Amino acid sequence: MATATKTFKNFIGGEWVDAASGETFETTSPANGDVLGVFPRSGAEDVDRAVEAAKAAYEDWRLVPAPHRGEILFRFGRLLADHKDELAELMAREMGKVLPEAAGDVQEAIDMSFYMGGEGRRLFGHTTPSELRDKFNMSVRQPIGVIGVITPWNFPIAIPSWKIAPALVCGNTIVFKPATDTPLLGERFVELLVEAGVPAGVINIVHGGGGAVGDRLVRHPDVPVITLTGSRETGIEVMRNAAENLKHIHLELGGKNAIIVLDDADLDLAVEGIVWSAFGTSGQRCTAASRVIVQRGVYGELQGRLVGAAEQLRLGPGWEQGVDVGPVINKRALEKIHSYTEIGKDEGAKLLTGGEAAGGDGLGDGNFYRPTIFGDVDPQMRVAQEEIFGPTTALIPVRDVDEAIRVSNGIEYGLSSSIFTRDVNTAFRAMRDLEAGITYINAGTIGAEVHLPFGGTKNTGNGHREAGQAALDVFTEWKSIYVDYSGKLQKAQIDTAE
């Protein structure tokens, strides 16, 4: 654990260095305001230096055999496992997750590192028959160059691994800008990569804000790929600012995910799934269930059970045993969440429980908000349409499965979806008709696994995916290769082979 007075640096070209400006900022705990460390407040000059280092390192790193690059990721995965408890404790303090969730965040990075390490011996291309005699055709993946990695605070170990592990195994180099709310976790991530054997210049970290560091990274002409997880508004700005250089842009943006509960559902299972999906990580997940669409036959019973379960959840610092819901990330988030409570009440939704910041009882000055449930919500209300990113969910009554699917799809996002039903025919219909990148049957909206593509439709992103083999398409270019061993010039689409 870092002490409150420890000062950290950027990591550029294999060296730990201060920001050129000499300016700094603090990272604090959302649970009690404790200062956890001091970090460089970097700017364009620091980004330029990091990109220069990454560009120089790329020339050798791309030639390192992919299996050897994968072996470094295997070592990194083992180091994450060795430091799992330490990282989970740090995450509880810097980001606010309760310890079991924080350990799960680290486990995702372990899983991703091992999975992508294996890609070092695959990175499959394709072979196809040629239309001409004595000719061989194949396609292969090739690295692209310097990757700009911009990550959020809510999964401060997992999400960097989703981006950095596949980028590295494909032969790219990295300039990493972690969120200013969780720089210490980003720092530890890079320290362990270096310990695993990533060469100098291949991984660089530059701390600082999106306006100074992120924007320069997005606009830099020597960074051909930007991968960002953030808000829809930020994603639009990134695409606009990167357009002049025709960069490859990978965006994972917002969600307004729904759980459908039909009359034939297992209500015990549904309530458990809703509580976990709506209030896990204090609702600060892009896959959080901020809508629950309930068929009228079970609406009253589900509402009663759900309110009772929510009111049993214990709030507190994430590092304490027995805590179910930790703090939200900062005061701005707390204010935004509460503003949506007021919006919901003004719109006529029925506040069933929560709806206020929590203090006292050991919560002190932390950023805690009580799990909040609205009932009798109209699908067009703002609390049913806009991403709140807090421990708030809205119960929406519907007549039947047709209306449930229409309501679930009736938003601008399309990340995660869920349905609880015992009818296999209905389940398969939902798999087909729900407009989302992820659909769960008889489970909540969270719980993605690293070997399947992760991402969404509509305003959730721009069509690319993280995780699974689909992630490789973000960080490689396809090259088609034709080998003619006929000894003569053959003209495809013109010659007629006998």
**Could you list the active site residues?**
252, 286
Using the 8-state DSSP alphabet, how is residue 213 labeled? Answer: I
Q: Distance (Å, rounded) from C-alpha 162 to C-alpha 43? A: 25
Convert 322-391 into a string of H (helix), E (strand) and C (coil).
CCCECCCCCHHHHHHHHHHHHHHHHHCCEEEECCCEECCCCCCCCCEECCEEEECCCCCCHHHCCCCCCC
- Within 151-210, strands assigned E span 173-177, 203-205
| Contacts made by residues 318-324, CB under 8 angstroms, sequence distance 24+ | 318/31, 318/91, 318/92, 318/93, 318/95, 318/96, 318/97, 318/98, 318/99, 318/101, 318/102, 319/31, 319/89, 319/92, 319/93, 319/99, 321/99, 323/98, 324/98, 324/279
**Distance separating alpha carbons of residues 21 and 44, to the nearest angstrom:** 10
Spatial separation of the C-alpha atoms in residues 259 and 416, rounded to whole Å: 9
- Quote the strand ranges of 71-211, DSSP E: 126-128, 135-143, 146-150, 173-177, 203-205
Backbone dihedral angles phi then psi of residue 40, each to the nearest 5 degrees: -70, 135
CA angle 404, 393, 450 (to 5 degrees): 80
Alpha-carbon span 27 to 43, nearest angstrom: 18
CB atoms within 10 A of CB 99: 19
Does an H or E element contain 117, and which? Answer: helix 99-119
d(CA 396, CA 415): 19
- Structural contact between residues 137 and 492, judged by C-beta atoms closer than 8 angstroms: no
H/E stretch holding 475 reads helix 472-475
Torsion angles phi and psi, residue 146, rounded to 5: -85, 130
Backbone angles phi, psi at 41, to 5 degrees: -90, 90
Only one residue has tokens 């054997």, namely: 197
